[in-house]
Amino acid sequence: MALLVALHVLAAVVWVGGMFFAYIVLRPAAGPLETAERLALWHRVFGRFFPWVWACIVLLLISGYVMLFRAFGGFAGAPLHVNVMQTIGIVMVLLFLHLFFAPWRRFGRAVEGKAFPEAAKQLGQIRRIVAINLALGLLTVAVGASGRFW
């Protein structure tokens, strides 16, 4: 169980921390760059970050559901905070899937084709989804850390 908890928490830290860094630190720092340079930077950043997000999603789902069944015997025995974490986590995964398969793909094609206005539009969509997922991720971390004391 200790290994499962450690993997679960580390996966959450990597995903949520990566979003925090991208949104709060890198986004404002990249703002002054020329459009083509800024879009190319985001293309490289997301290209390196998204494989980690996929790995985190797999680890979070596997570790979370194994712990759910081991510790609580399944969904019926799970306390409220576990169900809240699960629900928010699934919403986050669904948002990421949309981000990855829709605006991210369009963004990549636009950057590679040097269609910078379209790339900027898609980056705006990605930014909004990341902002939502960041807020949800921070909420989930707070629920996970405090839920057993409810």
Mean of per-residue pLDDT scores for the chain: 97
Does any domain span residue 28?
no
Task: Classify residue 30: in a domain, yes or no.
Answer: no
Task: Classify residue 31: in a domain, yes or no.
Answer: no
> Containing domain of residue 53, as a range?
2-18+37-149
For residues 64-73, give the mean pLDDT: 96
Mean pLDDT of 79-90: 97
Query: For residue 55, what pLDDT is reported?
Result: 98
C-alpha span between 72 and 78 (Å, rounded) = 5
Domain count, the chain: 1
State the maximum Cα–Cα separation within the chain, in Å, rounded to a whole number: 55
Q: Flag whether 25 is in a domain.
A: no
Asked whether residue 108 is assigned to any structural domain, the reply reads yes
pLDDT, mean of residues 52-56: 98
In this structure, is residue 102 part of a structural domain? yes
pLDDT attached to residue 117: 97
User: Is 20 within 8 Å of 134 (Cβ atoms)?
Assistant: yes
Q: How far apart are CA 56 and CA 7, in angstroms?
A: 9
Residue 26 lies in a domain: no
Q: Are 88 and 136 in contact (CB under 8 A)?
A: yes
Percent of the chain, pLDDT > 90?
99
Query: For residue 88, what pLDDT is reported?
Result: 98
CA distance 94 to 98: 6
Using CB atoms within 10 Å of the CB of residue 29, give its burial: 0 to 12 exposed, 13 to 18 middle, 19+ buried: exposed
Do residues 133 and 29 lie in contact, with contact meaning Cβ atoms separated by under 8 Å?
no
Euclidean distance between CA atoms 44 and 9, whole angstroms: 26
In this predicted model, what pLDDT tens digit does every residue of 89-117 receive, in sequence order? 999 999 999 999 999 999 999 999 999 99
Mean pLDDT to the nearest integer, 18-39: 97
Q: Is residue 32 domain-resident? A: no
Helices (H), the chain: 2-20, 27-30, 35-72, 80-99, 105-112, 116-146
Please give the average per-residue pLDDT across 66-75, as a whole number.
95
pLDDT tier, 141 (very low <50, low <70, confident <90, very high otherwise): very high
